[in-house]
Structures are given as C-alpha cells and as structure tokens.
A and B are shown apart, each in its own frame.
Chain A
Amino acid sequence: MFHKILIANRAEIALRIIRAARELGIETVAVHSTADANSLHVKFADESLCIGPPPSKESYLNIPAILSAAEVSGADAIHPGYGFLSENAEFAEMVQHSGLGWIGPRPEMIRMMGNKVRAKEAMRDAGLPQLPGSDGVVRDERELTRLAEKVGFPVILKAASGGGGRGMKIVREREQLAQMYRTASAEALAAFGNGDMYVERYVERPRHIEIQIVADERGDVVHFGERECSVQRRHQKMLEESPSPALNEKLRERMGRVAVEAMKKIRYNNVGTIEFLLDERGEFFFMEMNTRIQVEHPVTEAVTGIDLLKEQIRLAAGEELGRTQKSIALRGHAIELRINAEDPVTFAPSPGLITAYHAPGGLGVRVDSVAYEQYRVLPFYDSMVAKMIVTADSRPAAIMRARRALQEYVVEGIKTNIPFHKRLLQFEPFVQGRYDTRTVERLLAEAAPAAG
C-alpha cells in the first residue's frame, strides 16, 4: 500500500481524496496555487505545498511543479482527481517514470479513450453497441438514402468539419432527405470550407446513462450499477441519480454485462465510467468513456455502500478486486445536486466572498464541499461550490428529502443555483422520472416563477 499520496487537484475532490486516504492510514500532501492557500484541502492535508500562481496553467496544470512537489515531499503516489491532469496520458506516464504510483488507469487506456474516434472503434470491437450511421463521410445521395433507410428516420446530418452544434440538420421524412443534404452540404462548404457530411440515427429524447466500472490490475472487472445524468444544460451535468428511473432490472443487467465484457476485453484497470445514450425504445449506444473518478461518484457510493475513492487507491496499489458481481447490490435511491456559484436564471458565474453559510444535515444528507463562512469562491476555477447528496429508500422519498435539505441550505454573499434546483425538484417530468437531456431546456423555457 502507498504511504503518502500527493493530490494533484483542489477543492472538494482534493478533500474527498484526503478523507479516503486518512481512513486507509495514508498520509496526504496537498498542492495549491497562491489563491487557494486558505482552502480546506490545504488545511486538512498532512502537508501542503504552494506550487504556483492562481492560473491553472501555472499551478494545477504545471507538471514540473507537481512532480517536484512529489519529490520534495517524499510522496510515493499521485492522485489526479477529476479535471486538470486526470486524463492526461503523458502526465500519467511521467508519474510512472518518476517511480511514483499513478492512481488511475494505465496511460494507454487514458490515451485510447481520449481520442473519440479510436475509443469508438475499440469499443465497437469490444462489443459495445454504437449509434447506427455512416462509418465515415457519405459519398453521394444514393449512398445517403440507402444508409438513412437502414438507420431509420429521423436521422441527423452532421458536417464532418462542424462542431458545437453547427452544421447539423435533422431529417424526419425520407422525402426531405435529398434536399436537406444538398442544403446542409452547401452550408458546411460555405462555413467550414468542406462539404463532407456524416449521417447518424437521431434520438429525439436521449437519456445519458453511465455505468461505473471497477477493475483490478489482474483484469478482474465488476460494475457498480448506473447513474443517470440526463439533467444537464449545455452538456454540463446539474443533477445525477442512481438507480436511473429509465432502467428496469433486465436492461440494467444487460448494460452492465456488455460494459464489463468490453472492459475485460481491453484489459481495463482501476475505475472508469462508460457513458451510454439511451433512446426512447430502450436501445443504448456507446458515447465515450471517462478514465478517472467522476464528480457524481457519491450517488454510486450511496446505493452500493462502497467508498469508491478507497477502492480506487487500493486497486492502484495492486490489491485484488475481491468482489463478485453478485456481491454488488444496489439499495435505495440517491440523488446528487451540484451547487454552483452562478446566477440561477442567467447561469453567469458568481464568484466572491461567502458571507453566511449553513449546510443541510439530517438523515440521508451528505454535503461534499470546501465552502465555509468567509470562504472566497475564486474566479480562476470552476464554479462548483458543493455537492449535496441525498439517500432514501425510494425515489419519491429521495426527492422529498432533497427538497427538505435545500430548504436548510443557506449561502449568502454569492448567487447560487439553489433556486433552480428547487424548481427542478418540482418539475413534473423530473418528478415522474420521464426526462431526458433536453428537459432542462423545457424547464427554462417556462416562465420563471415570481422570486421568493
């Protein structure tokens, strides 16, 4: 087992890692920028080192400074948390070449999954279903028609050089196909200088379902069930829950089984998350894989009763998984709400000094945060202030608990998205469990209720 872990991250996830390490009897070294000198992760670690000025590029992304900090502090392993350097294969390699333990998957896994095209190919070969469509650029209208009929309407035409939602057209009827293809291709040519198009099945109401993978260094793999992360705005997750109201036992078993089989084939190690798109018919398709611990890991901890961070550290140190799929049982229901320092209506960031702070408590409420009264939310980093996780016997009970806990949550001095979450927890499609990745859009389109 490791003796001293350096945490190459900040804020709540750094504190989360400190907590896991301490319970394993491992010492911790926090690194921080000058701006984070008063952060709780610095206060609660056994040691701390300032590694640079506020901009992430010069501190939390500063590889030489982090490796140097590991050396002068005598750490024998590095935990990268999420974000920052967590999915940087080169950094993982440098850590290993320095003779330090890397708490994460092997660099080659990170590299494979970091390349969207390679990841899709590898996962297709490993047996994960892919969204039906053209494997590459559509050659002509005849090929397009043939592919679209095979894929089934509606389809989406995507410019090969497009991105960020630009250069896309949804085609619902066969009769519109040729005309829309010509228009889309001409537009793509004008906008990107390249008229090449892809075609893919278009899912009207996609749900984002992800499977938590846990694997040891010997190739033993289990899954810890799913998380639903369909509550998102502009691809930013806002709330996650487990289990997903969209899955039944049969579908859960099938998704978990194909995910585990794929991971065994590629010999995945440590923890990771496979993201799937689930359509209205209950068909699921591989989207991408995250080769790190995720923000929303606590909902899985709540329903499995297993500390994922301790598991991750233990497995990185070479210990055996020692669990069978049968031994992993999901109990109850958990919901995580991300509390961000942002305007609840415009979503503009709202950094600043927290002048009053009270976190909720009581049975089944967990708050992971580095916030406290007089804590300053800094403009240099992301706006997440806290994660509030509620657990209860059933989904309706968890929703009631989340509403109750939000009533107790006091944050003054900065704006937060708590009012948004209060609305969401009353929004009928969410309460019914019939929501998708566009539900937030629909909620926001409704007139905001009077303040209060």
Chain B
Amino acid sequence: MDVEKLRAILAALQGTEVTRLDWTNGQERLTLRMGHPPAPVTALHAVPAGQPAPAALPTPPQVTPVAPAASSAAAAAAPAARDDTFTVNSPFVGTFYRSASPDNPPFVEVGQVVKKGQVLCIVEAMKLMNEIEAEQPGRLVDSLIQNGSPVEYGEPLFRFEPV
C-alpha cells in the first residue's frame, strides 16, 4: 500500500461516521480505527533484520546480527551465547510503545518466545498506531527502547536469539 492510497482512504473517511475499516487486498491488510487514538490500527512488518545494506554506505545501518566481538562485559562473560542474536528495527520514524495502552501489559517480555507474525510493539506515526510484528520466531533477549520514546527509521527495538 503506498502513501497516496492510504491518504486517499483517510481523506475519504474524514467527517464520516465510520469508526472502523478492515481492508484486504491480496497480501495487503489494513485495519483503521477512527476517533480512538490509543487503539492499534495497522499491522506492518518491521525492517527485516539482517537485511544487507547497500555497499556504498559509510555506516551500514541495518546490518543487525550482533558481532562476536561485542565489547560489552556481558558479551565478554558469555562469548558464545550472543553470536547469532538478531534485532528487530523500526520501519519508520515515530513513537515507540511496548503495550497497546498504558493499562495493558507489554506485548512481549524478556525471555518470552515469540512466533512469526506476533505483535511486538506499536510505533505511532502521524496519529496512526502501527503494530510491529515479528518477521521470524525468537526468544526476546533485550528490549532496547524505553516505552514512549521517539525512534528513528532503522533503529533497533528488540534483540532476539533464535529458538
């Protein structure tokens, strides 16, 4: 779904009584809820972890497998444990939320095993609550962003280890 189309849909719904729209088109799925800002509205996939960065980049932003030579004390203490961890990165700039609303528990907790397609968090952009789903299964090792903080495009949100 491109931005033009999304904007057209939003424009068409402005001023109507519609509070919820489910749209399916092939692989694309869009859920909109109008007038309830805290509710999750769209489901999007995170920036694929480990996606190779273009060779010309001075600082490849999304080479995400953690290097064996990670310099932290934890890595030094357990050298073999983190070799194959991977991160899930923010697909766009916005505000990061670990739960659907302040009263709800976080979508995922450290140590929890997630399935492919499971919702991990919300990144709010332009008043839209975008659910970020797991691209692959894994066990959550670390949640890297404080709830309610701004995140950039490509910024690591979670670190997982394969299961």
Contacts and interface: CB of A to CB of B under 8 A. Distances in A.
B84 interface: no
Residue of B54, B94, B152 contacting most chain A CB atoms (<10 Å): B152
A63 interface: yes
A357 to B, nearest CB: 15
A51 interface: yes
Contact of B92 (A65, A376, A379): A65
Contacts of A54: 54, 57
Interface residues of B, number: 20
A51 B93 contact: yes
Interface in B122-163: 125-126, 150, 152-155
Interface in B94-118: 94-95
A15 B92 CA distance: 24
B53 interface: yes
Contact of B58 (A63, A65, A67, A376): A376
Interface of B: 3, 53-54, 56-59, 61-62, 92-95, 125-126, 150, 152-155
A6 to B, nearest CB: 11
A34 B153 contact: yes
Interface stretch (A69-77, A213-221, A414-422): A69-77
Interface of A: 31, 34-35, 37-38, 49-54, 59, 62-65, 67-69, 71-73, 351, 376, 378-379
A68 B154 contact: no
A73 B152 CA distance: 11
A84 to B, nearest CB: 15
Contacts of A31: 93
A221 to B, nearest CB: 34
Given A38-B58, A51-B92, A68-B93, 13 more contacts: A34-B53, A34-B59, A34-B153, A35-B54, A37-B58, A49-B93, A49-B152, A50-B152, A65-B92, A65-B93, A65-B125, A72-B93, A379-B56
B126 A50 contact: no
Contacts of A49: 93, 150, 152-153
B126 A68 contact: yes
A51 B152 contact: yes
B3 A52 contact: no
Contacts of A379: 56
A71 B92 CA distance: 13
Given A68-B92, A71-B126, A35 B57 contact: yes
B150 A50 contact: no
Given A64-B126, A379-B56, A69 B93 contact: yes
Nearest to B150: A72
7 contacts: A34-B61, A34-B153, A35-B56, A37-B59, A52-B92, A63-B3, A72-B95
A68 B127 CA distance: 9
A68 B125 contact: yes
A78 to B, nearest CB: 14
A376 B55 CA distance: 12
B126 A67 contact: yes
A65 B93 CA distance: 6
Nearest to B90: A50
B57 A50 contact: no
Q: Which of A31, A53, A59 has the most CB of B within 10 A?
A: A53
In the A-B complex, the 5 residue pairs with the smallest Cβ-Cβ separation, listed nearest first, are: A72-B150, A50-B152, A68-B125, A34-B61, A50-B153
B125 A50 contact: no
Contacts of A69: 93
A31 B150 CA distance: 13
Contacts of A68: 92-94, 125-126
A38 B61 CA distance: 12
Nearest to B57: A35
Contact of B153 (A52, A67, A71, A351): A52
